[in-house]
Amino acid sequence: MDINKSVEYIVKTLEGKKMTLSAAESCTGGMVSSVIVDYAGASAVFMDGIVSYSNEAKMKFLGVSPQTLEKYGAVSAQTAEEMCRGVSRESKTDIGISTTGVAGPGGGTPQKPVGTVYIGICINGRVKTKLLELKGSRTEIRQQTTQILLNDLIEEIDKL
């Protein structure tokens, strides 16, 4: 589904369900929030987005635990889970979504190469995370992450 159609569907569906949404982004740097607010009417459901690029921001604004970051790293399912839980809690929204990963071109390791991204979706306290192994430029990885997260969000809200 086209990204604009995805956002329109999400906004209209959440509005119909009287649910709210917030985003916590690292590797996407606000791209997810940006495509959501590009849709006129998004303010009915989208409360806020936090770009928590540094570990300090993840801890300060989202409540990601230092132990999680030390044990698993910023690019991990555990961090993605704490990010989406944290943004939902701090923003008092029904749904929190998150992205954390290595968009490149540098920063990759043998264990977590460029294109390693985790996304998280927290709906009413229930969390689903997903590992993405993407290819492409920095921009392409950020765009792919945004599209996949929105597609997965649609799948999750359709289950409600």
Q: Mean pLDDT, to the nearest integer, of 82-102?
A: 98
Q: Mean pLDDT, to the nearest integer, of 6-22?
A: 98
Note the pTM of the prediction, 2 decimals.
0.97
What is the number of structural domains in the chain? 1
Work out the pLDDT band at 1, boundaries 50, 70, 90. Answer: confident
Residue in 35, 5, 14 with CA at minimum distance from that of residue 145: 35
Residue 135 is classified by DSSP as -
Residue 102 is classified by DSSP as -
- Residue 120 to residue 146: CA distance in whole angstroms: 12
Residue 2 is classified by DSSP as -
Supply the range of the domain harboring residue 25: 3-158
Handedness of CA 46, 159, 125, 26 (dihedral sign): negative
To which residue do tokens 């009413």 refer?
124
Q: Does residue 92 surpass a pLDDT of 90?
A: yes
The CATH number of whichever domain residue 24 belongs to comes to 3.90.950.20
For residue range 125-157, what is the model confidence (pLDDT) as tens digits? 999 999 999 999 999 999 999 999 999 999 999
Angle between helices 3-17 and 138-158 (to 10 degrees): 30
For residue range 59-69, what is the model confidence (pLDDT) as tens digits? 999 999 999 99
- Residue 42 to residue 75: CA distance in whole angstroms: 29
